[in-house]
Amino acid sequence: MSKPTELTVHTVRSTKRGSDHYGSCEVCGNECSEHFVATNRRVSVRDDGQHILDGGTSGTYGHMHCLIQRFGNLVAQDSLQRDGNVLLFPQWAVDQIMTKSMGARRAV
């Protein structure tokens, strides 16, 4: 079992295909030689304390630089470990999100 948190993260992966397959970049509208897809995922915590990511929402397809411009920091999906079909999210990354979140709250 796992419990959802209020944290979300955008993962990104290469589709290994371009505009010939996916059409234009959804951010800038220009053609892409290689499309990337950014997916917003909710972070949950298992009973054993391990953080995991859900399947996410439908993704946004486009140039890497356009996706970074729209969503900010992205986590490379292929850098994450898996437990079966579940993406594991490391504690250091959760800590980093929490630190940024606390900084943003103080700035308000």
Q: Has residue 54 been placed in a domain?
A: yes
Domain range holding 20? 2-92
Instruction: Report the pLDDT value the prediction gives residue 1, as an integer from 0 to 100.
Output: 84
Q: Has residue 107 been placed in a domain?
A: no
Instruction: Report the pLDDT value the prediction gives residue 108, as an integer from 0 to 100.
Output: 46
Instruction: Report the pLDDT value the prediction gives residue 20, as an integer from 0 to 100.
Output: 97
Kindly report the pTM of this predicted structure.
Answer: 0.85
Q: Has residue 78 been placed in a domain?
A: yes
Question: Across the strands, what pairs with 46?
Answer: 2
Q: Has residue 100 been placed in a domain?
A: no
Q: Has residue 11 been placed in a domain?
A: yes
Q: Has residue 98 been placed in a domain?
A: no
Instruction: Report the pLDDT value the prediction gives residue 25, as an integer from 0 to 100.
Output: 98
The letter for the amino acid at 42 is: R
Q: What is the tally of structural domains in the chain?
A: 1
Which regions in the chain score pLDDT beneath 70? Answer: 101-108
